[in-house]
């Protein structure tokens, strides 16, 4: 009898979420049943059914049924949708970050294998790190690789002027994202997920954390939620525990900066590798966005006055805070690659010409 009651309860729950039209929740429920089923034949049948579930042409197929969420006061749309995310350039990350992102994408490409092993893919991910290190770009890359649209939550829109509506706005966005095959990016998560023991925050903002925690717990495994923050120290401790994966993005190290610089100055100079080496030293400790901004600045200047780009790159060599060895390395490479004269290298780096000549002679002798 107890078994019949449990069966009836499960059936009613399935009927309820099916009638609500939330396909993702139906799929998640069936995955759970497949895991718990004592009948191996039933479990295998459900796994096979999930594996063969029909796909449709557009991941945004439900938009006609579920209107885009808007703020109830301003009527502004709360989400920005990139159905086919466009990357300005390929991302350059550390080996650890690259492997983690690749694994998450790979899980989605082999979802049937995970289901057969009664496992769920990574569904909630937290990106942390300073501004400009590629967190949003990583979300776009994942969406492109998975063939899914990217939905970006505009936190300035969700924070309603009537603060009491903010929780409702957040629920609308998350419920909508659950209903379609997409990647949802919650940017600047710290704006709505601050520590609940922060005495400076009013009650409504604290309640937003509770709303978010409930939604994270209920996120369907068929969807992907990515949250990003520049201020990880502000997050409520309970938020950290809700994410399946935490990915830490750092400022690019010298080799990563070199690869990135090569990617954005390709076809602009005959000395790409030399300039990439030199600029990776000069622009070390800059974020990817800062590096791109600085280089695009000199590219614009070159385009406007018609001069060769090689004549403008030296303006990026701000070496005052660099070590003596870094300055020597830059000076020697500038001369050895034929980019400038010894006199000009001295003017740009402050390194004595005698030192430059001595190092060049050492290179020649070692060669």
Q: Report whether 198 contacts 99 (CB < 8 A).
A: no
- The answer, yes or no, to whether residue 210 has pLDDT greater than 70, is yes
DSSP state of 235: B
**Separation CA 151–CA 184 (nearest Å):** 5
pLDDT tens digits for range 287-305:
999 999 999 999 999 989 8
Tell me the average pLDDT of the chain. 82
Nearest-5° Cα angle at 181, 177 to 182: 65
Q: According to the model, what pLDDT value does residue 57 have?
A: 44
**Separation CA 54–CA 215 (nearest Å):** 26
Q: Give the start-to-end residue ranges of the domains of the chain.
A: 2-51, 67-248, 254-366
**Separation CA 224–CA 183 (nearest Å):** 5
**Separation CA 179–CA 174 (nearest Å):** 9
Strand order in the sheet with 245-248: 79-82, 150-153, 183-186, 224-229, 124-128, 245-248
Q: Report whether 184 contacts 82 (CB < 8 A).
A: no
Q: Report whether 247 contacts 101 (CB < 8 A).
A: yes
Given 3.40.50.300, 3.40.640.10, 1.10.357.10, 3.40.80.10, which CATH number is that of 67-248? 3.40.50.300
| Residue 276 tokens, joined | 């990439």
Q: How far is CA 212 from the centre of its chain?
A: 19
pTM for the model: 0.77
Positive or negative: CA dihedral 29, 167, 158, 19: positive
pLDDT tens digits for range 70-103:
766 666 777 888 998 988 888 989 999 999 999 9
Q: In the structure, what pLDDT confidence band is assigned to residue 251 with cuts at 50, 70 and 90?
A: very high
Q: In the structure, what pLDDT confidence band is assigned to residue 64 with cuts at 50, 70 and 90?
A: very low
pLDDT tens digits for range 112-160:
888 888 888 999 999 999 999 999 999 999 999 999 999 998 665 666 5
């Amino acid at each position: 009898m107890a078994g019949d009651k449990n069966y009836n309860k499960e059936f009613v729950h399935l009927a309820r979420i099916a009638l609500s039209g939330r396909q993702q929740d139906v799929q998640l429920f069936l995955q759970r049943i497949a895991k718990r089923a004592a009948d191996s034949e039933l479990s295998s049948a459900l796994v096979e059914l999930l594996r063969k579930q029909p796909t449709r042409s557009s991941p945004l197929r439900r938009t006609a049924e579920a209107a885009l969420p808007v703020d109830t006061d301003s009527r502004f749309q709360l989400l920005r949708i990139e159905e086919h995310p466009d990357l300005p350039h390929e991302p350059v990350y550390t080996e650890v970050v690259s492997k983690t992102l690749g694994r998450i994408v790979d899980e989605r490409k082999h979802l049937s294998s995970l289901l057969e092993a009664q496992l769920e893919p990574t569904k909630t991910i937290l990106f942390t790190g300073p501004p400009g290190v590629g967190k949003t770009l990583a979300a776009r890359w994942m969406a492109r690789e998975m063939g899914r649209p990217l939905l970006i939550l505009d936190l300035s829109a969700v924070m309603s002027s009537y603060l009491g509506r903010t929780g409702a706005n957040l629920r609308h966005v998350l419920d909508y994202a659950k209903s379609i095959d997409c990647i949802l990016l919650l940017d600047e998560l710290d704006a709505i997920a601050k520590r609940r023991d922060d005495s400076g925050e009013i009650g409504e903002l604290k309640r937003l954390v509770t709303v978010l925690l409930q939604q994270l717990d209920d996120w369907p495994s068929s969807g992907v939620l990515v949250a990003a923050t520049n201020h990880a120290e502000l997050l409520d401790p309970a938020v950290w525990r809700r994410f399946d994966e935490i990915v830490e993005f750092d400022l690019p190290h010298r080799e990563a900066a070199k690869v990135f610089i090569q990617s954005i100055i390709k076809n602009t100079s005959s000395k790409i590798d030399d300039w990439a080496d030199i600029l990776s030293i000069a622009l070390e400790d800059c974020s990817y966005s800062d590096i791109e901004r600085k280089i695009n600045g000199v590219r614009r200047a070159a385009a406007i006055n018609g001069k060769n780009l090689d004549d403008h790159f030296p303006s990026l060599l701000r070496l005052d805070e660099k070590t003596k060895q870094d300055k020597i390395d830059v000076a020697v490479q500038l001369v050895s690659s034929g980019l400038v004269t010894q006199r000009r290298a001295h003017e740009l780096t402050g390194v004595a010409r005698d030192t430059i000549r001595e190092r060049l002679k050492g290179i020649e002798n070692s060669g």
